[in-house]
Structure 1
Amino acid sequence: MSGEAPMCEMDLGGGKVKATSLQAGRCRMSSYERYVQPCFVELLGSALFIFIGCLSVIENSPNTGLLQPALAHGLALGLIIATLGNISGGHFNPAVSLAATLVGGLNTMLLLPYWVSQVVGGLIGAALAKAVSVEERFWNASGAAFATVQDQEQVAVALGTEIILTMLLALAVCMGAINEKTKGPLAPFSIGFSVVVDILAGGGISGACMNPARAFGPAVMASYWDFHWIYWLGPLLAGLLVGLLIRLFIGDEKTRLILKAR
């Protein structure tokens, strides 16, 4: 009938129900909050994190070694997660999003949009770092792209190191912020601290990327692609392994129910 109020559908978990026009705004807001807002936050957070991370490498003093990049990456990530994590989950890393999806912490439909948002954020962050850096420093640091691996003999060790380091980071996220048994208010701190530890331990071996978006942005800005694939394959394999590990052996009852529902 022409006099009926416009209707929209709302998914309440047990099936779709009709809602009047008074609820239509809430339907639209719900879709925005569930799909658009988290992707925007992942883009913003990735851009901020990678901007700080790249600058810390470009402006790094030889006297501080790995300490300056380690602290800058870890503290920046912890701060951004504490600020924005409640909106998107605070991944800012395709490998972490993969692990979170496998353990039920991220809707499968959002995985690809998250990846796109994170990679675009990485490009923006790296571009901003290049824009504010002194040209000589930028090129001396290869634009903060990962240049640690210089020959084929280093590949196996670097790849293995990236897998192990990223597993620690992904575990910190999944167990500290997603798993009902172990998550707590100190998750941003523990996640940021895992990055500090990883860079201090493995920075001299593989560069300690742990994040394909962190690798891609600087590589584009500096046109440096040597052994770039390591920083995609290693972290993504780690995310897959952590997701399967938690799903099969550690996951709590809530996680199992989510996975069963899928």
Structure 2
Amino acid sequence: KSVVQAAAPHIAEFVGTFVLVFAVGCCWLSPSDPAWSSTAVACVYMVMVYATTPVSGGNLNPAVSLALGLVGSLPWTVVLGYWAMQLAGGVVAGMCSCALFNPRKVHLQPVAPFAWEFAAGAELLYTCLLCLSVLCCRVPKRNNPPDDANQFYGLAIGFALAAGGYAPGGGA
């Protein structure tokens, strides 16, 4: 493998995570209607999963990389490399979206009448749903052979993300 071929999956994870987190930042920092933010983020995630899957697997989320490592679909050395790229992509995207919308500030907090414990519970539940969607739709070889792979996995993952955005009241 050349250096470019070896680096391509990590660069794909960085770019995909950057685009996703930048979209999240733009949706929440812009003065637009927040009712569409969860749908917009889910659509961006779906597109980035389809765009990066041939290169890196399209994880774009440390929890997804962890889940794939736990089931043995991804070597732990790759999981650690992806985590580094996902973290870097997220931090750079956050800085870029904050710089773009400076000095606008958003106070992220649970929607009344919910407290932080409910928000954390919803985040945990929907992160598990996201990981389960990936593990059920993209990983199994019996129902998803390499020569005839399904093409709905990105849509299923995007819907899981949209549900996670709207259910706790974050999108409305």
Q: Is there any run of 5+ residues in structure 1 with no aligned partner, and where?
A: 1-27, 208-262
Work out whether 1:201 is the aligned partner of 2:167. Answer: yes
Q: Which residue of 1 aligns with 2:20?
A: 49
Indicate the SS of the match to 2:60. coil
Q: Which residue of 2 aligns with 1:85?
A: 53
Which has the higher Rg, Structure 1 or Structure 2?
A: 1
1:39 Cα offset (Å)? 1.0
Q: Which one-letter code corresponds to 1:163 in the other structure?
A: L
Counting only pairs closer than 5 Å after superposition, residues 11-160 of structure 1 correspond to structure 2 as: 28-29=1-2, 32-33=4-5, 35-61=6-32, 64-65=33-34, 67-133=35-101, 135-136=102-103, 138-139=104-105, 141-142=106-107, 147-149=108-110, 154-160=115-121
TM-score by length of 2: 0.85
Indicate the SS of the match to 2:58. coil
Q: Percent same amino acid among aligned pairs?
A: 26
Q: Is there any run of 5+ residues in structure 2 with no aligned partner, and where?
A: 145-149
Asked if the contact 2:109–2:116 (Cα under 8 Å) also holds between the matched residues in 1, the reply is: no
Moved over 3 A (4+): none
CA gap 1:89/1:60 in 2 versus in 1, 3 angstroms: farther
Asked if the contact 2:122–2:164 (Cα under 8 Å) also holds between the matched residues in 1, the reply is: no
Q: Which residue of 2 aligns with 1:257?
A: none
**Cα RMSD over matched residues?**
2.1
CA gap 1:89/1:106 in 2 versus in 1, 3 angstroms: same
1:181 Cα offset (Å)? 3.7
Q: Which residue of 2 aligns with 1:192?
A: 158
Asked if the contact 1:60–1:69 (Cα under 8 Å) also holds between the matched residues in 2, the reply is: no
CA offsets 1:189-231 (integer angstroms, 9 cap, x no match): 1111111111010244xx9xxxxxxxxxxxxxxxxxxxxxxxx
TM-score by length of 1: 0.58
1:132 Cα offset (Å)? 2.0
Match of 1:168 among 110, 126, 129: 129
CA gap 1:200/1:182 in 2 versus in 1, 3 angstroms: farther
Q: Provide the aligned length of Structure 1 versus Structure 2.
A: 164
Asked if the contact 1:78–1:191 (Cα under 8 Å) also holds between the matched residues in 2, the reply is: yes
Q: Which residue of 2 aligns with 1:224?
A: none
CA distance in 1, matches of 2:31, 2:162: 15
Q: Which one-letter code corresponds to 2:46 in the other structure?
A: G
1:99 Cα offset (Å)? 0.2
Relative contact order, CA 8 A, sep 6+: which one is greater?
2
Q: Which one-letter code corresponds to 2:92 in the other structure?
A: I
CA gap 1:132/1:103 in 2 versus in 1, 3 angstroms: same
1:154 Cα offset (Å)? 2.5
